[in-house]
Copies of this chain bind each other. A is one copy, B any other.
């Protein structure tokens, strides 16, 4: 790997602080510099020793970085790209850990200079918890990390990031940003919407009687709303078409139930069970599930 001396992380929430801790643990010779726009978060990050250095100024954070990782809500990226563009060293690689990729690529192309290289990263890890206090240096270990590239992506920068995330413990997949957003609109953003809708459709007094099934089905709805609002806003069309598809399947089940059509109900439930069994088998084989 290209000799890296400094990696800077902008944003000290769960993902940024976990990335920083993972770098500390994995690359003893690389200096990590962290930044948060909130003083209280910077203080916590210092107390937890999340990075070698936590600085008060974003320009200072990225100055001297070989890699800059954005770990803030997605809709801040455009402004941050603009803000840091003039402070990035030549040849710097800029990436992020955001859950949508089409708009970050567009903003990077618009805001960053030709002297730096943007590649999208999306480590498929996280938690419904938020904040630096829940950061873990192994949050990304054993996860997939999607790298996104376009026709203009620098292949050397992509190779550096591939090696970087691999050493953190991720298995790497590379795809175009639009393909990424289509897929994750369905397998991540849609489940979030479904979980939130399920909770919103539920009566608080009735929920008290719920068992583990309800708790698991709704778990992701406990995620931070600002992060998730940004995800839904930056992938709106894919999310909306996913909701349409989900409503179609719900309506199909509703009809079968209303008609007391046992054969059709069993057919739809069997389809779901079988498809999920294939998924679980695949995930077990790939060691992506315990």
Give Cα distance in the complex from A194 to B157, angstroms.
42
A260 neighbours in B (Cβ, 8 Å): 233, 236
Mask: chain A, 189-204; 1 = CB below 8 Å from B; 0 = not: 0111111111111111
Q: Is B217 within 8 A of A191, CB to CB?
A: yes
Query: Could you list which residues of chain A lie within 8 angstroms of chain B, going by C-beta atoms?
Result: 124-126, 143-144, 146, 173, 182-184, 186-188, 190-204, 206-226, 228-229, 232-233, 236, 239-240, 242-254, 257-258, 260, 262, 265-266, 268-273, 275-280, 282-283, 289
Residue of B whose beta carbon sits closest to that of A241: B254
- Knowing A188-B210, A225-B269, the reply to whether A275 touches B201 (Cβ < 8 A) is no
| Nearest CB of B to A1, in Å | 26
| Nearest CB of B to A215, in Å | 7
A228 neighbours in B (Cβ, 8 Å): 269
Q: Is A253 within 8 A of B193, CB to CB?
A: yes
Residue of B whose beta carbon sits closest to that of A258: B240
Give Cα distance in the complex from A206 to B146, angstroms.
13
Question: A243's contact among B226, B250, B277, by CB below 8 Å, is which?
Answer: B250
- Knowing A201-B246, A246-B201, the reply to whether A211 touches B269 (Cβ < 8 A) is no
Give Cα distance in the complex from A151 to B242, angstroms.
47
Residue of B whose beta carbon sits closest to that of A218: B276
| Nearest CB of B to A284, in Å | 11
**Interface class of chain A by DSSP:** helix
Give Cα distance in the complex from A188 to B217, angstroms.
10
Q: Is A269 within 8 A of B196, CB to CB?
A: yes
Residue of A173, A246, A272, A283 contacting most chain B CB atoms (<10 Å): A272
Question: A211's contact among B143, B216, B224, by CB below 8 Å, is which?
Answer: B143
A202 neighbours in B (Cβ, 8 Å): 186-187, 275
Q: Is A236 within 8 A of B257, CB to CB?
A: yes
- Knowing A236-B260, A257-B236, the reply to whether A279 touches B210 (Cβ < 8 A) is yes
| Nearest CB of B to A4, in Å | 27
A272 neighbours in B (Cβ, 8 Å): 195-197, 199-200, 218, 221
Question: A229's contact among B218, B223, B269, B275, by CB below 8 Å, is which?
Answer: B269
Q: Is A232 within 8 A of B200, CB to CB?
A: no
- Knowing A254-B244, A258-B236, the reply to whether A217 touches B217 (Cβ < 8 A) is yes
| Nearest CB of B to A146, in Å | 8
A144 neighbours in B (Cβ, 8 Å): 209, 211
